[in-house]
Structure 1
Amino acid sequence: MEGCGIFSGDLLIVDRSLTPVDGAVVIAVLNGEFTVKQLRLSQKTILLAAANADYTPIVVKAGMEFQVWGVVTYVVHGLQV
């Protein structure tokens, strides 16, 4: 998710009380696995998109186990010494 400013080793602050909206970066559970993705919503589809265009968005379909666990509100970067 480097395209969203999230790098390996960063800490994510997640608000589970927020209602996810189109474009939000979320922690989602998809088929039992946690993932960090950008949520894309339309009237007919739910997509989980990586910030890297090399990865195909995941289309959430009927029968998939899917839950938005929380909305990422802040990213904490460590300082490199």
Structure 2
Amino acid sequence: MPNCSNCGVYMQPTEVYKREIYVGTTNRVNYGKRVSFGNSTHYRKQSVCVNCVNMIDKANEARKRNSTIVLLIIAIAIIIYFSFRR
């Protein structure tokens, strides 16, 4: 039986779902003519259980909602700025 990549619970083969999960970060330094630094974040589709699927989906919805609210606030601020600029 497969186990959940997020919480480790054993799952039935019919209850396996795939979601993008954070798996790590890579930090690198390049020594050439100039020293440069780079960071990258890695995500991978992994098998997760029903409870983790619900948790991941709720977190993604909250992230989308927060992004939409921030973009609307910025748009309203720009509109107000240009309307009172005259």
TM-score normalised per structure 2 = 0.21
Q: TM-score, normalised by structure 1?
A: 0.21
Structure with higher Rg: it is 2
Which is helix-richer, 1 or 2? Answer: 2
Considering Cα pairs closer than 8 Å and 6+ residues apart, tell me whether 1 or 2 has the greater RCO: 1
Flag the structure with higher strand content.
1
